């Protein structure tokens, strides 16, 4: 019988010590008895989910956590989200992630246009398709501010900055550069007039980034010998599921924001373990709280994740033949409101794993354990294919 494995991912949970929390990180300040129990029962360590030299995004980091080497498999965020939406680009076209953002006085006011509603975003994409689309340009609706733009041509080398990295900064310092950039800038400027009627903070416009072409992943079941399922409200993570031939479990009330229904995700994860060998549960809320710069919301998100997702899954997996791992995909720092490439802590307990003396789950606790310098190898150990401790880099 294969293992039953749950991988629980609080997106962006890792951080640094903050003066507002008395020198503690949000993970250390939050009350997380279930995650602490996972650490006490088993192994803690760190994993470098963002390889050195790559941009620290949820695309690269979740690809790595799922067990795929980003250097070999990553081809852009836009194509991954397109896979979830069933959008296929014609040959020779490039797929962009296309945020609806809001700007003010030449600065990036909000990378999400005030977390624009799905209804308002749908209206925005319809306007873009009506006014800007042509034989070489297409727009597709995603969820809220997360949408897609397809362009005929090769734009992979254009430098496009993620909008969540430049909140409050001058847009003129961060417009696209390189081959094809003039076309992108033209569309961005024209979009301001097209989206002028939207009810969002500041002035709405599009911001394309994360471009690339559709990758091909080895099916998860062939790679790890486990039937896998993904629970997430984010197109990116669900797109990885499509590419890895894993089932996507839709959860009513899951929003991809701080108001998500944590308990519904916890119940869905427990139920999924009856039908699947591995369930990957992704919760976006800690990351969104970090992008907001809200210490209070991040601590709340971590506590809700612990009590409503980790605790019920830990109870379900407290039996032979099971394992549970908690691991953020990447750090998202309150201080900068953006992602960081530092290694993240993980904790895993269950079948074949003995306690190693950890008392809690945190960044500091992780540093006292095994270090996976190649984060994509962590899944091999989590699923029992390769035993702990972490393999040395290049082994």
Give the DSSP per-residue string, 28-57. HHS--HHHHHHHHHSEEEEE--S-TTS---
Predicted confidence at residue 389, as pLDDT, reads 86
Query: Counting Cβ atoms within 10 Å, is residue 290 exposed (0-12), middle (13-18) or buried (19+)?
Result: buried
Considering only CA atoms, which of 310, 245, 255 is closest in space to residue 285?
A: 255
pLDDT number for residue 233: 95
Tokens of 353: 């794993």
Is residue 362 a contact partner of residue 356, using CB atoms and an 8 Å limit? no
In tens digits, the chain (395 residues) has pLDDT values of 689 999 999 999 999 999 999 999 999 999 999 999 999 999 999 999 999 999 999 999 999 999 999 999 998 999 999 999 999 999 999 999 999 999 999 999 999 999 999 999 999 999 999 999 999 999 999 999 999 999 999 999 999 999 999 999 999 999 999 999 999 999 999 999 999 999 999 999 999 999 998 888 999 999 999 999 999 999 999 999 999 999 999 999 999 999 999 999 999 999 999 999 999 999 999 999 999 999 999 999 999 999 999 999 999 998 899 999 999 999 999 999 999 999 999 999 999 999 999 999 999 999 999 999 999 999 999 999 999 987 776 55
Count Cα neighbours of 32 within 13 Å in the Cβ-side half-sphere.
Answer: 29
What structural domains and CATH numbers belong to the chain? Answer: 4-73+216-382 (3.40.720.10), 80-212 (no CATH)
Please list the residues that pair with 101 across neighbouring strands. 205
pLDDT at 394: 56
Are 142 and 88 a contacting pair, CB within 8 Å? no
The torsion defined by the Cα of 376, 380, 382 and 384, in degrees rounded to 10, comes to: 180
Q: Give the pTM.
A: 0.90
State the pLDDT at residue 319.
Answer: 84
CB 266 within 8 A of CB 248: no
Local structure of 111: helix, strand or coil: coil
Q: Are 32 and 10 contacting, i.e. CB atoms less than 8 angstroms apart?
A: no
CA pair distance 308, 202, nearest whole angstrom: 36
**What are 203's two structure tokens?**
């002035």
Whether the upstream peptide bond of residue 106 has omega within 30° of 0, thus cis, is no
393, containing H or E segment: none
Parallel, antiparallel or unpaired: strands 4-10 and 278-283: parallel
Q: Specify the residue for token string 């911001």.
A: 207
DSSP symbols for 292-339: HT-HHHHHHHHHHHIIIIIHHHHHHT-STTEEEEE--SS-EETTTTEE
Please list the alpha-helical segments (H only) found in the chain: 26-29, 33-41, 58-65, 70-73, 77-85, 118-131, 181-194, 220-224, 235-243, 262-272, 285-292, 295-305, 311-316, 363-367, 378-382
Identify the CA nearest to 363 among candidates 49, 5, 47, 81: 47
Query: What's the Cα-to-Cα distance from 77 to each of 53, 70, 285, 352, rounded to whole Å?
Result: 16, 12, 19, 36
- How far apart are alpha carbons 116 and 122 in whole angstroms? 10
């Amino acid at each position: 019988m294969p293992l039953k494995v749950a991988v629980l991912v609080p997106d962006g949970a890792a951080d640094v010590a903050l003066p507002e929390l008395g020198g503690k990180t949000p993970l250390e300040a939050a009350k997380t008895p279930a995650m602490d129990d996972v650490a006490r029962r088993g192994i803690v360590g760190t994993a470098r989910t963002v390889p050195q030299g790559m941009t620290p995004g949820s695309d690269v980091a979740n690809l790595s956590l799922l067990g795929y080497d980003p250097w070999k498999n990553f081809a852009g965020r836009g194509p991954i989200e397109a896979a979830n939406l069933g959008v296929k680009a014609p040959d020779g076209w490039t797929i962009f992630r296309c945020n609806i953002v809001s700007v003010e006085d030449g600065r990036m006011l909000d990378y999400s246009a005030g977390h624009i509603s799905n209804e308002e975003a749908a209206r925005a994409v319809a306007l873009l398709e009506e006014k800007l689309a042509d034989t070489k340009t297409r727009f597709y609706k995603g969820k809220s501010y997360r949408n897609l733009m397809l362009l005929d041509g090769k734009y992979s080398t254009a430098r496009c900055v993620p909008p969540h990295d430049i909140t409050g900064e001058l847009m003129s310092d961060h417009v696209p550069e390189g081959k094809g950039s003039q076309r992108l800038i033209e569309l961005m400027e024209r979009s301001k007039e097209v989206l002028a009627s939207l009810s969002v903070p500041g002035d709405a416009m599009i911001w394309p980034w994360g471009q690339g072409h559709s990758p091909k992943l080895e099916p998860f079941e062939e790679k790890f010998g486990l039937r896998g399922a993904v629970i997430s409200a984010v197109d990116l993570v669900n797109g990885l599921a499509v590419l890895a031939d894993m089932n996507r479990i839709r959860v009513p009330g899951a929003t991809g924001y701080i108001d998500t229904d944590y308990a519904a995700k916890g119940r869905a994860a427990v139920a999924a373990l009856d039908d699947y060998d591995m369930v990957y549960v992704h919760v976006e809320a800690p990351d969104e709280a970090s992008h907001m710069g809200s210490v209070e919301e991040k601590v709340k998100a971590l506590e809700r994740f612990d009590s409503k997702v980790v605790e019920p899954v830990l109870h379900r997996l407290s039996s032979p033949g099971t394992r549970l791992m908690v691991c953020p995909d990447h750090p998202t720092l309150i201080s900068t409101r953006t992602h960081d490439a530092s290694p993240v802590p993980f904790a895993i307990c269950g079948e074949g794993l003995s306690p190693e003396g950890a008392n809690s789950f945190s960044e500091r606790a992780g540093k006292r354990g095994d270090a996976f310098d190649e984060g994509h190898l962590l899944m091999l150990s989590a699923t029992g294919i390769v035993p702990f401790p972490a393999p040395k880099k290049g082994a």
